[in-house]
Amino acid sequence: MSNGGTVNVVDGFPSCHVAGRLEGLRPLLLDAGIDALLITNITNIRYLSGFLGSAGSLWVTPVGAVLVTDGRYRDQAADQLTRSGADIDLEITGGGHLSVLKKLASGSDRVGLEAESTSWADMERLAGAIEGELEPTSGLVEALREIKDDGEVARIAAAASIADRALAAVEVDFAEGAVESELATLLDHAMRTGGASDRAFETIVAAGPNSALPHARPGNRILVDGDLVVRDFGAVVDGYRSDMTRSMRVGGTGSGPAAELLAVVLEAQEAGLAVVADGVPLVEVDRACRDVLVDAGLEKAFSHGTGHGVGLDIHENPAVASTASGSLRAGQVITVEPGAYLVGLGGVRWEDTVLVTGNGHRPLTCSPKAL
């Protein structure tokens, strides 16, 4: 095991710099006009504190922080806070969570809540316990999570490598007569035996007409010669995820509409990847992919955004889409995944997870895309 500053440390990985993350958050409290922030998103709690439990909240002020959880996590929380190096006190409740928060909030006029993870019922309970005014906030911690440190990148890269090896191990099974759901299980098993702690999301194997559904779930479709097949999957390593899609045609690429669709969507992805770099507007990546598909008469066949951030969650900021604002920044990990879906023919999507760098990008998923 490595020492200090890590989250659920795995041998051989650089440390994740958990200890300094609260200092990055505190100026955002001032910008939001709040005296304290109650963090209830469990992934955000992990990011800031190293705590891996499934229940708790993190109280953050400009001068301190307290992790509040219950007796099930007494020893675990203490150990994980120590390992993280974060300057966070621990409060263990015996069912009196609201009374602890009331004490912590004493003297705070404006308390921020995470709008995306606070239910209406939670807000009503908090309003009855906290005297200060409750204010919705959005994306404060998520904004920090966009830029990955070396430890985070190493874990995402390891997850991507596991997914690459898993596909290589089962590629031969993607043949006529195989069943979607069985192929998805093979991929999942290969990732598990290859070192993943879990799959990053429900693996997609969609063949024939099902491939025209961008988020199809694997079922009992039997692959037949000529089917287009979309394989969208990823692995988890120490909480961090990868995301990759590789499309194919059963029986080989051949020629005709299916081959043309495979080629033009790959051309679109290559165009998008070519512009990925620090400072590039997010909409330009989407536009580069979309322009290729528009020129091919496939504008309406591309029905989703071009990509998204990846990290502790499979979908994080930034969104790479035609409606996105802002620009890429070095240290972000994003996907580039244009697709085209035609009822009666099938669908194609090519996707890679990449690290944004100062002068371009570094691919983290590296499975072949040869036609």
Q: Look at strands 198-199 and 204-207 and give their pairing.
A: unpaired
Q: Are residues 202 and 319 in the same domain?
A: yes
Q: Are residues 104 and 209 in the same domain?
A: no
Q: Are residues 89 and 162 in the same domain?
A: no
Q: Are residues 173 and 45 in the same domain?
A: no
Q: Is 169 exposed, middle or buried (0-12, 13-18, 19+ CB in 10 A)?
A: middle
Any idea what the Cα angle at residue 314 is, between residues 160 and 340, rounded to 5°? 85
Last residue of a domain, one of 91, 116, 145: 145
Residue 371 located in a structural domain: no
Structural domain count, the chain: 2
Q: Are residues 35 and 169 in the same domain?
A: no
Q: How far apart are the first and last CA of the chain?
A: 43
Please provide residue 52's backbone torsions phi and psi, each rounded to the nearest 5 degrees: -110, 10
Query: Residue 176 is part of which domain span?
Result: 150-363
Q: Are residues 233 and 319 in the same domain?
A: yes
Give pLDDT tens digits along the chain (371 positions).
Answer: 233 333 333 568 888 899 999 999 999 999 999 999 999 999 999 999 999 999 999 999 999 999 999 999 999 999 999 999 999 999 999 867 888 999 999 989 999 999 999 999 999 999 988 988 999 999 999 999 999 999 999 999 999 999 999 999 999 999 999 999 999 999 999 999 999 999 999 999 999 999 999 999 999 999 999 999 999 999 999 999 999 999 999 998 778 999 999 999 999 999 999 999 999 999 999 999 999 999 999 999 999 999 999 999 999 999 999 999 999 999 999 999 999 999 999 999 999 999 999 999 999 999 999 77
Q: Are residues 244 and 342 in the same domain?
A: yes
Last residue of a domain, one of 145, 169, 199: 145
Q: Are residues 197 and 55 in the same domain?
A: no
